């Protein structure tokens, strides 16, 4: 069989890895050096050149998206069908094995998968049955503890006895949750892996079967595997399978979720005769981008030795934009994208990356306003997030008590002891009398269908909402929003979720307050209009957020890709914007306090920079309203860690203020030119009349200015030719 096409388009080192004789191999190499490409070609090589059946191969990647892409690329290289080839994530593969071997795994055939939400509900039920005080022992913390035990392979029964009350309580919850899951045939995410591992461990015949079947196991993004994934891999390989692991220690970014970079070391030590292959040529990025990335990551200690070079063009300098605030930053991003599209670029060649999901809202709004289609990956759009929907539901109820969807959503969120039985009674009454749930609740209490505790808790809820509405009457929209989030207990409730998640939810709630504040200043239509019935600002805000959650995302066609830096791993784009490069945000407040945390943030920045193929923009804002407060943050140290000669600062300044006025007197002027005008300067043009200078671009002869004319709108003009008169 002719296999030259599989080796074509590979360099020497890549070819060596792809065509190596069967054996264990570790490919450690920097970003964009073709690791994923090697994995794909290796699979094709094994099938076509070594005659391995696709059935005998197992390929593991990090996300479902990556798995789908990998399968596609493999199939493109093959002359035979690859349908029997297993490609998937660790969870996906474990799930598949359990479906096939439910009996061996001790599961009912129709076992049910619990998603994170279901799992949480179940743990809550367990705690209630055990009479454990949720306020003292938050449910989310218990869920977190259970998952962590499972990720480390620990069953409840195997936990040591402890004097520590925290441990004792969590052990009781875990035990009880475990038996409930077993009785009900329920399997949570962490259980998929653990159950699969135990099943293989406990069944010699089964293990032998799979060891024999999977003669080759290939793993991408190996640096981000956790303990149980590594154990699973080792068990399955069993010294007979050949494992090829590819990864980059400099891109390990999931330490906070239990990933162990030590697995790279362990792999070399614990697997037999591991051939280590290094790839050093980068094919993705320009020389400038690569040099910057190398310089940045050079600030981390204890790395595996590595050098990365490219034959590609030097490329443009990295563009750095210092924005006045986050709105200005977002507008800059949107303008650059619009400009690039105007110049013939395609939206999906561009990615906007950010550290925290809460940053996306302002960026989204700027893109929407500029009519640029975008798509958000790995994370809900702002107004679709659970905590935001909860807060909006409370707001809606203060405005309209009969909004049933909102009622359903928050009547027991945060949990206030309104049980399913009580709710069902209310629902029935509401159906029978064709009244809202709110009305039905009141009648049920009044007429005695609800009694005792049930009546009390529902009455409490009614009082809570009435109280919010009454107390909120004299508050401005953002004050009301802030108050409702607090008074409803949502801030506390979401804030108690463990780790990054709880933090993110809190930040998002605070961000909603910012959105409300900003909304007041940005109403497109006046609230009181002669032709329109007056709408309250609150109603407008609620409608707008519902719209924003719905249609505005252009699903099909070319769209700008927006995502967190974490979800950008493995991807590449011609143009990349890394936003929010500020101390406290990136590196993130918490992570920068420890050396390990800081290094992980730096790796995350390295991941971000190395996503860019041709053009890289870095932005930071002097003032950012995030988490509900205005932050004055210094530019991120990561900017300083880049060689200055690779970075060019963009001197365009557009003053955007959150107060109603569009322009402020200029603080930072762009470089003075003989004919320069200042931003904010009032000018007159012969044809367009009077206007205000918004921004300027270019230098000397080629200076252009954008002017907002009262009558003619926004125009770009060549300064040397426009003959502008400056007004006082
Ligand atoms: P990351 O660390 O970001 O996951 P990677 O090491 O997996 O990166 P790939 O995504 O496999 O790198 O490759 C980066 C880019 O370089 C891809 O566009 C790939 O097609 C291209 N590439 C890799 N090797 C070669 C080669 N020998 N010739 C031409 N292009 C190549
Ligand atoms: Mg890759």
| Residue 390 scores a pLDDT above 60 | yes
Where in the chain is CATH 3.40.50.300?
A: 4-99+194-279, 318-373+552-650
pLDDT in tens, 615-635: 999 999 999 987 777 889 999
CATH number corresponding to 112-184: 1.10.10.160
Contact 617, 577 (CB under 8 A): yes
Q: What is the pLDDT of residue 109?
A: 79
| Residue 402 scores a pLDDT above 70 | yes
Tell which wins on pLDDT, 459 or 379: 459
Contact 659, 647 (CB under 8 A): no
Cα–Cα separations (whole angstroms), residue 717 to 151, 281, 724, 727? 61, 45, 10, 17
The mean pLDDT value for 145-173 works out to: 92
Q: What is the pLDDT of residue 524?
A: 37
Number of C-beta neighbours around residue 214 at 10 A:
21
Number of C-beta neighbours around residue 443 at 10 A:
17
| Residue 531 scores a pLDDT above 60 | no
Omega before residue 414 within 30° of 0, cis: yes
**Cα distance between residue 654 and residue 619, in whole Å:** 14
Nearest Cα neighbor of 488 from 580, 396, 365, 616 is: 396
Where in the chain is CATH 2.40.10?
A: 655-728
**Cα distance between residue 701 and residue 401, in whole Å:** 63
Specify which of 107-116, 492-501, 568-577, 664-673 reaches the highest per-range mean pLDDT.
568-577
Where in the chain is CATH 1.10.10.160?
A: 112-184
Per-residue confidence at 92, pLDDT binned at 50, 70, 90? Answer: confident
Tell which wins on pLDDT, 555 or 725: 725
Nearest-CA residue for atom 18 of ligand 1: 284
| Residue 593 scores a pLDDT above 50 | yes
| Residue 717 scores a pLDDT above 90 | no
- Least confident piece of the model among 78-87, 414-423, 445-454, 594-603: 78-87
Q: What is the pLDDT of residue 659?
A: 37
Write down the residue that tokens 């709880």 correspond to.
Answer: 502
Gap from CA of 509 to ligand 2 centroid (Å):
35
Number of C-beta neighbours around residue 433 at 10 A:
11
Query: CA 315: distance to chain centroid?
Result: 29
**Homologous superfamily of the 387-511 domain (CATH):** PCRA; domain 4 (1.10.486.10)
Residues framing ligand 1 (Cβ under 6 A): 9-11, 14, 29, 31-37, 248, 251, 283-284, 570, 572, 610
Tell which wins on pLDDT, 423 or 256: 423
Per-residue confidence at 688, pLDDT binned at 50, 70, 90? Answer: confident
Residue 11 alpha carbon, nearest atom of ligand 1:
27
| Residue 645 scores a pLDDT above 60 | yes
Q: What is the pLDDT of residue 156?
A: 95
CATH 3.40.50.300 is held by the domain 318-373+552-650: yes
Per-residue confidence at 533, pLDDT binned at 50, 70, 90? Answer: very low
Q: What is the mean pLDDT of the chain?
A: 86
Tell which wins on pLDDT, 421 or 519: 421
Instruction: Indicate the top mutation candidate among 14, 34, 44, 611 to test ligand 1's pocket, ranked by most ligand atoms within 8 A of CB.
Output: 34
Tell which wins on pLDDT, 309 or 499: 309
Q: What is the pLDDT of residue 701?
A: 63
**Cα distance between residue 423 and residue 117, in whole Å:** 20
Nearest-CA residue for atom 28 of ligand 1: 9
Residue 279 alpha carbon, nearest atom of ligand 1:
6
Contact 13, 279 (CB under 8 A): yes
Per-residue confidence at 541, pLDDT binned at 50, 70, 90? Answer: confident
Residue 251 alpha carbon, nearest atom of ligand 1:
2
Q: What is the dihedral of CA 70, 574, 653, 581, to 10 degrees?
A: 40
Looking at all shown ligands, the one closest to residue 15's CA atom is 1
Query: Per-residue DSSP letters for 493-535?
Result: HHHTS-HHHHHHHHHHHHHHHHHHHHHHHT-SS-SSBTTB---
Gap from CA of 173 to ligand 2 centroid (Å):
40
Contact 84, 55 (CB under 8 A): yes
Tell which wins on pLDDT, 643 or 548: 643
Per-residue confidence at 532, pLDDT binned at 50, 70, 90? Answer: very low
**Cα distance between residue 143 and residue 123, in whole Å:** 7
Nearest Cα neighbor of 692 from 676, 706, 708 is: 708
pLDDT in tens, 217-261: 999 999 999 889 999 999 999 989 999 999 998 998 887 777 778
Question: Quick one: CATH architecture of 4-99+194-279?
Answer: 3-Layer(aba) Sandwich (3.40)
| Residue 292 scores a pLDDT above 80 | yes
Q: What percent of the chain has pLDDT over 70?
A: 89
Query: Per-residue DSSP letters for 378-434?
Result: SS--GGGSHHHHHHHHHHHHHH-TT-HHHHHHHTTSS--S--HHHHHHHHHHHHHHT
Gap from CA of 48 to ligand 1 centroid (Å):
22
Tell which wins on pLDDT, 591 or 56: 56
Who's near 226: CB < 8 A, 6+ residues apart? 151, 254, 257, 258, 259, 260
Q: What is the pLDDT of residue 3?
A: 84
Contact 57, 214 (CB under 8 A): yes
* 655-728, CATH topology level: Thrombin, subunit H (2.40.10)
Q: What is the pLDDT of residue 670?
A: 33
Per-residue confidence at 330, pLDDT binned at 50, 70, 90? Answer: very high
| Residue 586 scores a pLDDT above 80 | yes
Per-residue confidence at 118, pLDDT binned at 50, 70, 90? Answer: low
Contact 240, 234 (CB under 8 A): no
Tell me the CA end-to-end span of the chain in Å, nearest whole number.
81
**Cα distance between residue 172 and residue 132, in whole Å:** 10
Total-model pTM: 0.70
Query: Per-residue DSSP letters for 162-216?
Result: -S-HHHHHHHHHHHHHHHHHHHHTEEEHHHHHHHHHHHHHH-HHHHHHHHHH-SE
**Cα distance between residue 688 and residue 706, in whole Å:** 13
Looking at all shown ligands, the one closest to residue 61's CA atom is 2
Nearest-CA residue for atom 30 of ligand 1: 283
Per-residue confidence at 662, pLDDT binned at 50, 70, 90? Answer: very low
Who's near 680: CB < 8 A, 6+ residues apart? 655, 663, 664, 665, 666, 692, 693
Instruction: Indicate the top mutation candidate among 18, 32, 33 to test ligand 1's pocket, ranked by most ligand atoms within 8 A of CB.
Output: 32
Q: What is the pLDDT of residue 205?
A: 96
| Residue 668 scores a pLDDT above 50 | no
3-state class percentages of the chain: helix first, strand second, coil last, to nearest 5? 50, 15, 35
Residue 30 alpha carbon, nearest atom of ligand 1:
2
Nearest-CA residue for atom 23 of ligand 1: 34
Nearest-CA residue for atom 24 of ligand 1: 34
**Cα distance between residue 389 and residue 685, in whole Å:** 48
- Least confident piece of the model among 155-164, 310-319, 709-718: 709-718
Tell which wins on pLDDT, 95 or 577: 577
Q: What is the pLDDT of residue 448?
A: 93
The mean pLDDT value for 591-598 works out to: 85
Over the Cα atoms of the chain, what is R_g?
Answer: 29
Query: CA 500: distance to chain centroid?
Result: 11
- Per-residue b or e along 174-186, where b marks 16 or more CB atoms closer than 10 Å to that residue's CB: bbbbbeebeeeeb
Write down the residue that tokens 């049980």 correspond to.
Answer: 419
- Decide the pairing of beta strands 242-247 and 25-29: parallel
Nearest Cα neighbor of 43 from 17, 66, 11, 8 is: 17
Backbone angles phi, psi at 324, to 5 degrees: -70, -45
pLDDT in tens, 255-286: 777 777 889 889 999 999 999 999 999 999 99
The mean pLDDT value for 366-391 works out to: 80
Contact 511, 358 (CB under 8 A): yes
| Residue 141 scores a pLDDT above 50 | yes
- Decide the pairing of beta strands 275-279 and 25-29: parallel
Nearest-CA residue for atom 21 of ligand 1: 283
**Cα distance between residue 484 and residue 80, in whole Å:** 61
Gap from CA of 655 to ligand 1 centroid (Å):
41
Q: What is the pLDDT of residue 207?
A: 96
Q: What is the 3-state secondary structure (H, E, C) of 665-702?
A: CCCCCCCCCCCCCCCCCEEEECCCEEEEEEEEECCHHH
Nearest Cα neighbor of 491 from 513, 469, 518, 520 is: 513
Nearest Cα neighbor of 302 from 595, 32, 570, 642 is: 595
- Least confident piece of the model among 111-120, 240-249, 521-530, 559-568: 521-530
The mean pLDDT value for 410-427 works out to: 94
**Cα distance between residue 102 and residue 112, in whole Å:** 11
Who's near 161: CB < 8 A, 6+ residues apart? none
Tell which wins on pLDDT, 279 or 377: 279
Query: CA 71: distance to chain centroid?
Result: 24
Per-residue confidence at 646, pLDDT binned at 50, 70, 90? Answer: very high
**Cα distance between residue 662 and residue 664, in whole Å:** 7
Gap from CA of 32 to ligand 1 centroid (Å):
5
| Residue 90 scores a pLDDT above 50 | yes
Gap from CA of 286 to ligand 1 centroid (Å):
13
The residues annotated with a catalytic role in the active site are: 35-36, 220-221, 251, 611
Q: What is the pLDDT of residue 676?
A: 56
Nearest Cα neighbor of 440 from 463, 414, 422 is: 422
The mean pLDDT value for 198-211 works out to: 96
Gap from CA of 190 to ligand 2 centroid (Å):
25
Residue 10 alpha carbon, nearest atom of ligand 1:
27
Using a 10 angstrom Cβ sphere, with 0-12 exposed, 13-18 middle and 19 or more buried, the burial of residue 667 is exposed
The mean pLDDT value for 153-177 works out to: 93
DSSP-assigned letter for residue 576: E
Q: What percent of the chain has pLDDT over 90?
A: 55
């Amino acid at each position: 069989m002719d296999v030259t096409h599989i080796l074509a388009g590979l360099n020497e080192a890549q070819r060596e890895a792809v065509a190596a004789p069967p054996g264990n191999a570790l490919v450690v190499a920097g970003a964009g050096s073709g690791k994923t490409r090697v994995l794909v070609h290796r699979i094709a090589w094994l099938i076509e050149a070594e005659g391995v059946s696709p059935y005998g191969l197992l390929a593991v990647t990090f996300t479902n998206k990556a798995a789908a892409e990998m399968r596609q690329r493999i199939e493109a290289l093959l002359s035979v069908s690859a349908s029997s080839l297993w490609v998937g994530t660790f969870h996906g593969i474990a799930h598949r094995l359990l479906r096939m071997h439910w009996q061996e795994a001790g599961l009912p055939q129709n076992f049910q998968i619990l998603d994170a939400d279901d799992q949480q509900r179940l743990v809550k039920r367990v705690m209630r049955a055990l009479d454990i005080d949720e306020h003292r022992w938050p449910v989310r913390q218990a869920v977190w503890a259970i998952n962590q035990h499972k990720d480390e392979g620990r069953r409840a029964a195997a936990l040591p006895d402890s004097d520590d009350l925290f441990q004792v309580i969590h052990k009781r919850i875990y035990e009880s949750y475990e038996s409930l899951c077993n009785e009900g045939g329920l399997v949570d995410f962490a259980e998929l892996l653990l159950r699969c591992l135990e099943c293989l461990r406990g069944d010699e015949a089964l293990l032998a079967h799979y060891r024999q079947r999977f003669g080759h196991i290939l793993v991408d993004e190996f640096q981000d595997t956790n303990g149980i994934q590594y154990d699973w891999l080792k068990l399955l390989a069993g010294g007979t399978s050949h494992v090829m692991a590819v990864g980059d220690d400099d891109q390990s970014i999931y330490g906070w979720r239990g990933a162990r970079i030590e697995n790279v070391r362990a792999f070399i030590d614990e697997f037999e005769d591991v051939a280590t292959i290094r790839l050093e040529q980068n094919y993705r990025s320009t020389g400038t981008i690569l040099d910057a990335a190398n310089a940045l990551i050079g600030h981390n200690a204890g790395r595996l030795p590595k050098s990365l070079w490219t034959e590609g063009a030097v490329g443009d300098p990295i563009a750095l934009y210092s924005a006045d605030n986050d709105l200005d930053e977002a507008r800059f991003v949107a303008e650059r994208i619009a400009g690039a599209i105007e110049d013939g670029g395609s939206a999906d060649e561009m990615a906007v990356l950010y550290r925290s999901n809460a940053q996306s809202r302002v960026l989204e709004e700027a893109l929407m306003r500029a009519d640029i289609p975008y798509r958000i990956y790995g994370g809900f759009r702002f107004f679709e997030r659970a905590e935001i929907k909860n807060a909006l539901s409370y707001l809606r109820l203060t405005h309209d008590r009969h909004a049933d969807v909102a009622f359903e959503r928050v009547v027991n969120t945060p949990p206030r002891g309104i049980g399913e039985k009580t709710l069902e009674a209310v629902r029935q009454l509401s159906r029978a009398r064709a009244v809202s749930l709110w009305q039905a609740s009141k009648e049920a209490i009044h007429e005695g269908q609800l009694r005792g505790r049930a009546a009390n808790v529902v009455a409490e809820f009614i009082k809570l909402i009435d109280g919010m509405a009454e107390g909120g009457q004299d508050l401005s929209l953002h004050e009301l929003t802030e108050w409702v989030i607090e008074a409803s207990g949502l801030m506390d409730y979401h804030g108690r979720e463990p780790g990054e998640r709880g933090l993110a939810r809190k930040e998002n709630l605070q961000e909603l307050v910012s959105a409300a504040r900003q909304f007041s200043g940005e109403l497109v239509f006046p609230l009181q209009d002669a032709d329109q019935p007056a709408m309250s600002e609150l109603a407008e805000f609620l409608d707008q957020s519902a719209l924003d959650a719905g249609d505005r995302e252009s699903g099909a066609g070319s769209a700008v890709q927006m995502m967190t830096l974490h979800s950008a791993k493995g991807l590449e784009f011609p143009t990349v914007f890394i936003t929010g490069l500020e101390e406290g945000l990136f590196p993130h407040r918490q992570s920068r306090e420890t050396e390990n945390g800081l290094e992980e943030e730096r790796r995350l920045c390295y991941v971000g920079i190395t996503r860019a193929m041709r053009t890289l923009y870095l932005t930071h804002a002097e003032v950012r309203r995030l988490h509900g407060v205005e932050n004055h943050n210094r530019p991120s140290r990561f900017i300083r860690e880049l060689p200055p000669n690779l970075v060019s600062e963009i001197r365009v300044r557009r003053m955007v203020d959150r107060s109603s006025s569009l322009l402020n007197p200029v603080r930072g002027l762009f470089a003075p030119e003989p004919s320069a005008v200042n931003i904010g300067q009032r000018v007159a043009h012969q044809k367009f009349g009077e206007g205000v200078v918004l921004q300027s671009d270019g230098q000397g002869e080629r200076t252009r200015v954008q002017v907002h004319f009262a009558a003619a709108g926004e125009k770009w003009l060549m300064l040397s030719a426009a003959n502008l008169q400056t007004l006082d």
